[in-house]
Amino acid sequence: MSNVAKAQPSVSWGRPDTGALLLEWWDRERRDLPWRTPAGCAPDAYRVWLSEIMLQQTTVKAVIPYYERFLARWPTVAALAAAPLDEVLAAWAGLGYYTRARNLHKCAKLIADAHGGRFPSASSELVKLPGIGPYTAAAIAAIAFGEAATPVDGNIERVVARLFAVTAPLPASKPTLRHLAASLTPSARAGDFAQALMDLGASLCTPKRPSCLVCPLQMSCAAHAEGLATELPRKPAKADRPLRVGLAFVALREDGTVLLRRRPEAGLLGGMLEVPSTEWRDALPPLDQALRAAPVHGQWWAVPGTVTHTFTHFRLELMIYRAVVPTETALTFWADPQRCRWVPRRALDSAALPSVMRKVVAHGLREQ
């Protein structure tokens, strides 16, 4: 039997008052988040958009300080559009998935230049903007503009899979889950309903230990009735992330500056700053060959220990080499001098360095 076919009779579990029950719960229990407006106040599309972009792939806890700093510095989409990209990337440093920051800036400029500083209100228009996919478009349209759109991310997929006891595994069940989520969405208060689903997934219908006993939807939940809550949604087993390795070169000039290089615009950590390194491969080349990739000639020595970092698709282990060089040292061909700059140590904190490179700098500069 297809999953949709199995799910349809369960709509009777989603009793007609599922939406009302959820909203009633949310009116009492909603999370107080800095991007949310008090009940009865109209949300600001800029704040909704900014928070939704930051929340992609990131936790609420990690996002809050970034959101507050961004909003204090760039209180409107016009202010963000007018900011240099470098400053936006530097303010984003540490939040990860840096393409989001580049698209954030591109989108702000487009809104300011081509849309008169106002976000389009329809999800079908929002989804055409840089960095806005179907989930984010639906979230902005529902929350900021009241469109009866249903944003469906991993959290909402989990809640819906349980409410309707969808046993087909992800990702094949995604269309079914989107369809079922849409079937629950009320035409009034669609934005509140979306946020209520988000909050239910974050606070009660959690991945490992759902709190069914205090859940407002318990009576409507097929997975709870069938004792399947902790098993759903089903997912294929995760493949192990492969390991890549490399050598990173922390070059410290006698004037107290450190050599950083801008990464290419496209690809991983695009446009962010880095400590120059060898390519990240499955295995290290012989040491004399790896050291030829150093960005300056000098006495390179290995800093004990390694720096490790986990990206979405691989784990990285870097050995760190360090050298102190005279101020007038020339860069080698391998450094790609056009992309390099010497940055004072005191300015490293505010540089657009992603987390992995912050670890490399800290490891490379620590006192031995």
- Per-residue interface string for the shown chain with ligand SF4, residues 228-257, x marking contact by CB under 6 A: -x----------------------------
Residues 104-143 that bind ligand SF4 (CB under 6 A): none
Q: Is 45 in the site for ligand SF4 (CB under 6 A)?
A: no
> Tokens 């089903």, residue?
234
Number of residues near ligand SF4 (by CB under 6 A):
15
CB closer to ligand SF4, 185 vs 329: 185
**Span of 53-61, 112-120, 158-166, 267-275 interacting with ligand SF4 by CB under 6 A:** 158-166
Strand pairing class (340-344; 315-325): unpaired
**Is there a catalytic annotation at residue 52?**
yes
List the one residue out of 80, 91, 81, 98 whose CA is nearest residue 266.
98
List the one residue out of 110, 108, 111 whose CA is nearest residue 87.
108
For the four alpha carbons of 269, 275, 277 and 283, in that order, the dihedral sign comes to negative
Assess whether the previous peptide bond of 16 is cis (omega < 30° from 0). Answer: no
Report d(CA 114, CA 96) in Å as an integer: 28
Q: Indicate which single residue of 22, 137, 168, 221 sits in contact with ligand SF4 (rule: CB under 6 A).
A: 221
CB closer to ligand SF4, 224 vs 263: 224
- The residue annotated as part of the active site, out of 24, 52, 226, 279, is 52
First to last CA, the chain: 65
Q: How far is the CB of 222 from ligand SF4 (least distance, A)?
A: 8
CB closer to ligand SF4, 89 vs 197: 197
Q: Is 215 in the site for ligand SF4 (CB under 6 A)?
A: yes
Tokens of 81: 């559009």
Report d(CA 39, CA 262) in Å as an integer: 44
Q: Indicate which single residue of 100, 105, 224, 263 sits in contact with ligand SF4 (rule: CB under 6 A).
A: 224
CB distance 149 to 123 below 8 Å = yes
**Span of 178-186, 218-226, 249-257, 293-301 interacting with ligand SF4 by CB under 6 A:** 218-226
Report d(CA 364, CA 345) in Å as an integer: 12
Report d(CA 274, CA 351) in Å as an integer: 10
- Per-residue interface string for the shown chain with ligand SF4, residues 171-200, x marking contact by CB under 6 A: ------------------------------
**How many Cβ atoms from other residues are within 10 Å of residue 241's Cβ?**
13
Strand pairing class (257-262; 340-344): antiparallel
CB closer to ligand SF4, 181 vs 205: 205
Q: Indicate which single residue of 88, 107, 163, 196 sits in contact with ligand SF4 (rule: CB under 6 A).
A: 163
Report d(CA 128, CA 46) in Å as an integer: 16
CB closer to ligand SF4, 19 vs 210: 210
Q: Is 204 in the site for ligand SF4 (CB under 6 A)?
A: yes
Positions marked catalytic? 52
Residues that bind ligand SF4 (CB under 6 A): 159, 162-163, 204-205, 210-212, 215, 217-218, 221, 223-224, 229
